[in-house]
Every structure is written in structure tokens, then in C-alpha cells.
Structure 1
Amino acid sequence: MRNSFDFTPFRRSAVGFDRLFDMLESSAASSAAENYPPFDLIREGEHDYRIELAVAGFKRDEIEITSHQNVLIIRGRKGDDNGADYIHRGIATRSFERRFALADHVQVTAADLADGMLALTLKREIPEAMKPRRIEIGGTAAAPRHDTIESKAEQREGADA
């Protein structure tokens, strides 16, 4: 079974969609390898979202959250083991990096770590200049005069009288 799709024919006929095709190709390539830590994406309102990651065993100072150019990056690096002699190690403590592509105007507003769950609150805030606005039609200005053949004839008759 093929895991990737060739977007080359579409690239030739679609102008300005290079970023979209790059995102599709990179997400398809990295989705198989990028499955730790597991996460939930929750819509809390029309413009409000929450991402919850299961990061059991990580402390606040071992997790780094960065938002840059429509990409949210969450990295986890485990500290030392304090010299513990493990007989069996079943709790995953490997380092991770999880990336999320953010839509335009989506900002991370809060992050909280409790009970092994990292919760990130996101809000989409569209700038006032980008929001649609209603334009009222004014009726105070005089209507423009359209000269037609009939109105020109009427003007000539009035001048002759």
C-alpha cells in the first residue's frame, strides 16, 4: 500500500497553492512517525479550541511550547533519572516534538499542566480590518442626471419658447 500521494500534476495547474501542497506532503510523511504523545483536539466555541496532550511523567520545566508563523511546537525533554536502577521501564519518558499547523489569526492564550495532561487554550481572533462590514446606502446626495435623447429634446423645446 502506498503511503504518499504525488501532487506534481496539481502543482503545474494550481498557481499559489504551493504552501498547501507542501503541508499535505509533510503531514502525510510525518503522520506515521508522529504519534507520541497522544492528544485530543476540542472545539469549545465558534472561535475557541483546546488541545490536550497526555504527557504523564513530564514536569513543567521539561516541556517547551513555541508558537511561530502559524505553527505550534510542543517539545518535551526528560531530565536525568537521579541514578535510579530500573528493573522495568514501562512509562514512556522519551523526548518528543509535536507540531500543529495553526490557521491564520489563531493564538495560544493559555497553557496548563495538571494530572499528566497538558491543556492549551487557543482562540481565533480576526482583526477588525479583516472582518466583513456592512456598508449602508446613503440617500442624501442628488441622483446623477442621465442625458437621454428625450431629455435633450425637452431642453431644446424649453429654450425655443
Structure 2
Amino acid sequence: MIDFTPLFRSTVGFDRLSDLLDDAMRYEPADNYPPYNIEKTGEDAYRITMAVAGFAPEDISITAQPNLLVVAGRKPGRDHVQYLHHGLAMRAFERRFELADYVQVKGANLENGLLSVELARELPEMMKPRTIQIGGASQPTTIEAQPSGSQKAA
């Protein structure tokens, strides 16, 4: 077991980081069905693409929760079929994706057997970088918002 105590001595408000590291240490290999890709499509934009051939939009559910995306699929009425050869998986599945803070699901599309889920990270104004002016005894301290994408040293 790895001791992360030195890391936590220099952090404030990262209790969730501790939980994520603990979860990662207890990782159990999961089923690899269906296969998927995670792409970075922009500075704060991402796409998850899953191979779900044979599933219709009504067979798939996408649920977004705080810091979690759950994609599940189920083909109804396949239990009574007698296969001579069963090579196409099309079995029920559930995939869970841990999302970083402020990552939102923007939309989903199913085309040619590929399910694409668009994600974007949107920081609230209060979380964006800002400049802190240091005042003296006779000058009050002021805080100014910085334009997005630029950072100045205070």
C-alpha cells in the first residue's frame, strides 16, 4: 500500500482526491464490453465513443450524476431466441465513467453502431483565475476577475 500522507500535507480541500486514490488502489479489472474511446476534442471538451452495434437509442440509457456518467444498454426480448452460433455480443452492459468536477454532459448521438457522448468542462465564474492586489495599511485589498485563459502572477 502506498502512503499518500506527504501529498495531503500541502493540499487544502482535496478530500475527494484521497477517496479517488483509495478507489484506484482497490481497482478490480472489469468487463471490457462494450469497447470505448475517450477523446479530447478541445481545451475543455471531451468525447466518449462506445461501440454498441445492434442497440437502438431506446435500448440505451445515459444517466449523468455529480462526478459520474453511467451508460447502460439492454436488448429486450432476446431470451427466447435459440442460437446455432452466437458471435454477436449484444448483451446487457453498464459502463461507469468518473467525471472531474464541473464536467457536464452536452449531448449524445448514436450513428453507425457508435454512441458518442459529448462532455465539456465549464468552470463557474467564482472558480476562474483572478488577480489579488496586495494593499498596505492605508490601501484596501481588491480582487479583480481575469479574462478567461490568461493568468498573471500577483
2:57 paired with 1:60: yes
1:72 equivalent among 69, 72, 92: 69
Take 1:125 and 1:64, find their aligned partners in 2: how far apart are those partners?
Answer: 24
Map 1:82-161 onto structure 2 (within 5 A): 83-134=80-131
In angstroms, what is the RMSD of aligned CA positions? 3.0
Flag structure 1 segments of 5+ consecutive residues without an equivalent.
1-5, 138-142, 145-161
- Compute the displacement of 1:22 (Å): 3.4
CA distance in 2, matches of 1:41, 1:60: 20
User: What does residue 152 of structure 1 align with?
Assistant: none
Aligned: 1:38 with 2:52: no
Q: Given the two structures, how large is their TM-score scaled by the length of structure 1?
A: 0.69
One-letter identity of the residue aligned with 2:32: N
Query: CA shift at 1:14, angstroms?
Result: 3.7
The answer as to whether partners of 1:113 and 1:119 remain within 8 angstroms in 2 is: yes
Counterpart AA for 2:4: F
Relative to structure 1, is the Cα distance of residues 11 and 135 closer, same or farther in structure 2, using a 3 angstrom cutoff?
closer
Percentage of matched positions with identical amino acids: 47
- Structure 2-normalised TM-score? 0.72
Distance 1:10 1:28, change over 3 A: closer
- Which structure: greater helix fraction? 1
Which has the larger strand fraction?
2
Give the structure 2 partner of residue 10 of structure 1: 4
**Alignment deviations for residues 91-111 of structure 1 (CA, whole Å, 9 cap, x no partner):** 012211111111111100010
Q: How far apart, CA to CA, are the structure 2 residues paired with 1:129 and 1:18?
A: 20
Structure 2: 5+ residue runs without aligned partners?
Answer: 139-154
The alignment covers a number of residue pairs equal to 134
| Comparing 79-88 and 57-66, the one that deviates more | 79-88
The equivalent residue for 2:17 is 20
Amino acid at match of 1:10: F
